[in-house]
Structure 1
Amino acid sequence: MNLRDKFFQKKPAAYRIHHEDTLASKTLSEKLSLLLPARRTDSIVIVCIGTDRSTGDALGPLVGTKLQQLKPKATIYGTLESPVHAVNLNEVMESIAERHPRPFIIGIDACLGRLHSVGIITAGEGPVKPGAGVKKELPEVGNIHLTGIVNVSGFMEYFVLQNTRLNLVMKMADVMAISLHESIEAYGRDVPIEKHKASNWGDDLIQLP
């Protein structure tokens, strides 16, 4: 790829909204619907990455647990009871490959970002990259991703995660779970959705392990 092609290549669509926005769940559900594949599939797999041993990194398992209670038409991996994290992520992804032929995977994870971005939820094309912020080699997860900025990056990430407010993480998990459930329900009903180009919001995120 030459320099010109690299500069003009299409960037993945990304949407951002603060979890306290009054229309956060509705808007995020609509944006997620736009990211689901145009050809309907019965094999939607949601992988919620994180651990219940760290407040900030519990976002993924919390979303998974809340989604299970809503009973979406999707298979969920990663809950508070059975988390998906750095130790077992490779094994889980191998299991998904064996059990789900050609799945459409939604990767869920917490991340750190700039101070003014804390509380923002991002949905976009392409996978989450767990472990990238702390130089861990872990598989990328998802055809699309949904992430929440739970705290500030840049210094002592593990300590920051341990001291993230549970109230913030719980509220973000509520919005993410409801939005995912509603978008998947609409998708299952085969609601016609007009695809459109989305603006790229840039990259100020650091993924967690």
Structure 2
Amino acid sequence: MNLETLKKNPFFDKGPQSVFYHETAAGDRLSRLLSVHLTEKITNPIVLVCIGTDRSTGDSLGPLVGSKLSERSLENFNVFGTLEDPVHALNLEETLLSIKKQYVQPFVIALDACLGKAQSIGAISVGQGPSKPGAAMNKKLPPVGNIHIHGVVNIQGFMEFFVLQNTRLNLVMKMADVIAAGIQKTDRYLTVSKKINHL
């Protein structure tokens, strides 16, 4: 299915769409979901804000993806948030101000771990609108992003801080691999699209 067909599909108007990290070709599917949101934003600077901290296993999904992507040569994504230099509750507002100063009309993608239902653990969703970091911990932080990528790393509803701290690193690493692969594939797609549009 090509992107024009995907964009016309009413399925994409019903909220966030998900792929599970263990599905066949999960990175490719994630790339297709992400590309639908970016095809009309090729001329805007794209900023990926990878939210989280390396001090909590469950909350390290964002920084892990940021670190994986920072090791690769991306042409279309400006990445904020790595294991070495994470974006978290203490510096989120400062980071958003810095992005606003550096880029003109950036299209911001927020990437963050979240908690969900047991059957949703391992799901990676892409949706319109901002992420609300810290919501599970009742922290009042600014919303982030024109769109968001959320990875469900564990179950919600009880002692969220403890649950995040005790999330399996193996799960988070595998989800980070899929997300990084999906974004890298999207980056290649955007590069090709720009070249075609300049022909």
- Which amino acid in the other structure matches residue 119 of structure 1? G
Match of 2:181 in 1: 178
Match of 1:156 in 2: 159
- Which amino acid in the other structure matches residue 96 of structure 1? I
Change (3 A) 1:130 1:41: same
Task: Indicate the RMSD between aligned Cα atoms, in angstroms.
Answer: 1.7
- Which amino acid in the other structure matches residue 126 of structure 1? G
Match of 2:95 in 1: 92
- Which amino acid in the other structure matches residue 63 of structure 2? P
Q: Structure 1 CA distance, aligned partners of 2:184 and 2:43?
A: 16
Tell me the TM-score normalised to structure 2 length.
0.87
Q: Structure 2 CA distance, aligned partners of 1:41 and 1:81?
A: 30
Match of 2:3 in 1: none
- Which blocks of at least 5 consecutive residues in structure 2 are unaligned? 1-11
Give 1:4-153 correspondences, 5 Å limit.
13-73=15-75, 74-153=77-156
Query: Deviation digits for residues 126-181 of structure 1, max 9, x if unmatched?
Result: 11110122221111111111110000000000100111000000000000011011
Asked if the contact 1:125–1:143 (Cα under 8 Å) also holds between the matched residues in 2, the reply is yes
User: Which contiguous aligned blocks of 4+ residues in structure 1 show a shift greater than 2 angstroms?
Assistant: 10-13
Displacement of 1:42 in angstroms is 4.9
Change (3 A) 1:12 1:69: farther
Query: Deviation digits for residues 183-203 of structure 1, max 9, x if unmatched?
Result: 1221122179xxxxxxxxxxx
Number of aligned residue pairs: give it: 183
Query: Deviation digits for residues 15-53 of structure 1, max 9, x if unmatched?
Result: 111100012111111111001151422511110000000
Change (3 A) 1:107 1:12: farther
Tell me the TM-score normalised to structure 1 length.
0.83
Q: Structure 2 CA distance, aligned partners of 1:83 and 1:36?
A: 25
Which protein has greater RCO, CA pairs closer than 8 Å, 6+ apart? 1
Q: Structure 1 CA distance, aligned partners of 2:18 and 2:67?
A: 23
Q: Taking every aligned residue pair, what percent have the same amino acid on both sides? A: 51
Tell me, what secondary structure is at the counterpart of 1:123? strand
- Which amino acid in the other structure matches residue 65 of structure 1? S
* Between structures 1 and 2, the one with greater helix share: 2
- Which amino acid in the other structure matches residue 75 of structure 1? N
- Which amino acid in the other structure matches residue 175 of structure 2? M
